[in-house]
Amino acid sequence: MNFSSKLLEDAVNEFARLPGVGKRSALRLVLHLLRQEEAQAVSLGESLIKMRKELSYCKSCFNISDTDICEICSDSSRDQNLICVVEDIRDVMAIENTQQFKGVYHVLGGIISPMNGIGPDDLNIDSLISKVNQGEINEVILALNTTLEGDTTNFFLFKKLKDANVEITTIARGIAVGDELEYVDDVTLGRCMINRTPYETVLAR
Amino acid sequence: MHLKKLSLVNFKNYEHAELNFSTGFNCFVGDNGGGKTNLLDAIYHLSFCKSFINPIDSQNIKHNTDFYIIQGNFELNEKKEQIHCGFKKGKKKQFQRNKKEYSRLADHIGLLPVVLVSPEDTMLIQEGSDLRRKFIDTIIAQFDRVYLDKLISYNRIISQRNALLKKFAEARSFDKDAIDVWDEQLVELGMVIHEKRVAFLHSFTPIFKKHFEFISQGKEEVSLEYRSQLAGENFKDVLAEAMAKDRIVQYSTAGIHRDDLICTLDEYPIKKLGSQGQRKSFVIALKLAQYDFLKSEKGYRPLLLLDDIFDKLDPSRVVQLMELVNGSDFGQIFITHTHEERLTAVLEGIDDVKIFQVGGGMVKDYSAKSITDDAT
């Protein structure tokens, strides 16, 4: 692509570095910004700079937060001794949307996958262990993806925590609500048959 | 199960062809390049949704045209099944069962089982151990879904473990906890897969031997030996022992992904010492044993496709082979051959035979003395 302006080219190249954005889309976005009022482009730029410079992570749960301790961790109505371990902020948002969880989170920042260059040292694991070792925590809920890597991370955490005096649970896996049995894959359905739930606990909800 | 009628449009060298089959033997005879194997390929296509010769659909279209259609009328458990496969250049392949489109091709595979014996099969004993593992795995996976699931997980862990070993080597470090978490899962999966392979070969080998003995008239003694590092060992110990080596070579050297099937003839490896005819008999017996397994799993007889099967075999083996497949164990059979006289000679005394003369993309129904190809 030949550009008549160096400034234009730089902006296009920066956009094209974003995931899912090619050169053509980048050019379209840049030209769009150019057509808008100047204030709008400036506000976009400023919010990006502010976001990158000022945003920080909660010192307790490692979720993205504007303050040292995030809103969830500082909420005194939540059970501080019930920790839900998740991969990243998207999972926190998903679980918060359910309004079914009144404990706090611990964001690992990824899952173990050597193929993607991520080992246990790259994750927020040590802080979770020291939190648990302080002895206040009653239960750790492992809520990671049900992939091989997610299961491996669960297993790793379990091995690290099993000697501490804490209950370790994992979220239920099975048939999605509203699904028909005949369309459920064999592996999932097989596990569902093994890990049955007492009917009374279903009634309570 | 059998195929009653096959029609082709613009498939490979066929502009248009329609064939009505016998429920017993169907023979395609003709010169090289006439299109005999293409007919087998069309039948294979209706079962596996792809060609066994060339998996690229656009290259299976007749030159200078832009689509092909394969259609087959099957009878399965006394019910009619019409399978339609159409492909147009640049479009998605259409695959229909009784006029209903499949959303996933994987849903179709397995409905109409086919076993193909082709000259390329000798690769199974000639080439690397991965082909032999795949041969075993495909058969087991057909009746054991959990096996396939475990195998996929196992292979994924091996990839992750190898990546970890590479990372250790690059960083000149070693983290026991990080590798243990993979190893412990590996051990559990590996042991299950190993046990299932042992159990499978325990029941598979006698069937294979029986077929080979019949073909060779007991002249040679064959055996299949399942060789695994896990045999009689605890996988955990095997892994621990291999660790030092794994760290040097930076990949996993121990496990069921290194298993092999040693094929021997009179106690020598057939890979090195068998003649072409012996190897051919060997793989035919393997394939026929696969047929038996598939049959008992499905509860009905798969189609048997024999491509150029008499090539390299001595006359006595050919006679034995025909006697074997003519028995009650096998259902509908499709054979290709270049020599009509030789074929009619070996088929003597067998009822329910139909011979098709194939050449230049045309098929003549020879035995019925009628012309079925409208192009002639």
Domain B126-270 has CATH 1.20.1050.90: yes
Q: Looking at the partner chain, which of B164, B167, B181 has a beta carbon nearest the beta carbon of A155?
A: B181
Tell me which chain B residue has its CA closest to the CA of residue A153.
B181
Please give the pLDDT value at position B366.
Answer: 65
Written as one letter, the residue type at B96 is Q
* 124-153 in chain A: CB under 8 A from chain B: 148-149, 151-152
User: What's the whole-number average pLDDT of chain A?
Assistant: 92
Written as one letter, the residue type at B188 is E
What confidence tier does A205 reach under pLDDT thresholds 50, 70, 90? Answer: low
**Identical fold at B2-113+302-365 and B126-270?**
no
Query: What is the side-by-side strand order in the sheet with A139-142?
Result: A104-107, A82-86, A139-142, A167-170
CA–CA–CA angle A99, A100, A105 (5° rounding): 90
Q: What would the mean pLDDT of A20-39 be, rounded to a whole number?
A: 93
CB B150 within 8 A of CB A190: no
What confidence tier does B365 reach under pLDDT thresholds 50, 70, 90? Answer: confident
Percent of chain B with pLDDT over 90: 51
CB B230 within 8 A of CB B189: no
In chain B, domain spans: 2-113+302-365, 126-270
In chain A, domain spans: 6-54, 74-171, 173-205
User: What's the whole-number average pLDDT of chain B?
Assistant: 88
Contact status of A121 with chain B (Cβ, < 8 Å):
yes
Please give the pLDDT value at position B298.
Answer: 84
Classify A6-54 by CATH class: mainly alpha
Calculate how close chain B gets to A192, using CA atoms only, in Å. Answer: 14
Say whether A148 and B157 touch across the interface (CB within 8 A).
yes
DSSP sequence for B146-211: HHHHHHHHHHHHHHHHHHHHHHHHHHT---HHHHHHHHHHHHHHHHHHHHHHHHHHHHHHHHHHHH
Domain B2-113+302-365 has CATH 3.40.50.300: yes
d(CA B85, CA B97): 9
Q: Looking at this predicted complex, what is its ipTM? A: 0.74
Give the pair of three-digit tokens for residue B10. 């613009």
Q: What would the mean pLDDT of B173-188 be, rounded to a whole number?
A: 91
Say whether B163 and A186 touch across the interface (CB within 8 A).
no
Calculate how close chain A gets to B317, using CA atoms only, in Å. Answer: 44
Say whether A115 and B163 touch across the interface (CB within 8 A).
yes
Please give the pLDDT value at position A204.
Answer: 64
Please give the pLDDT value at position B148.
Answer: 86
Any idea which fold A74-171 has? Answer: Dna Topoisomerase Vi A Subunit; Chain: A, domain 2 (3.40.1360)
Q: Return the residue in B181, B184, B251 with the most chain A beta carbons within 10 A, the one to mutate for interface testing.
A: B181
Q: Return the residue in A156, A162, A185 with the most chain B beta carbons within 10 A, the one to mutate for interface testing.
A: A156
pLDDT, tens digit (0-9, with 9 covering 90-100), for B42-58: 999 999 888 998 889 99
Chain B CB contacts of A157 under 8 Å are none
CB B287 within 8 A of CB B123: no
pLDDT, tens digit (0-9, with 9 covering 90-100), for A106-141: 999 999 999 999 999 899 999 999 999 998 899 999
d(CA B226, CA B305): 28
Written as one letter, the residue type at B44 is Y
What confidence tier does B344 reach under pLDDT thresholds 50, 70, 90? Answer: confident
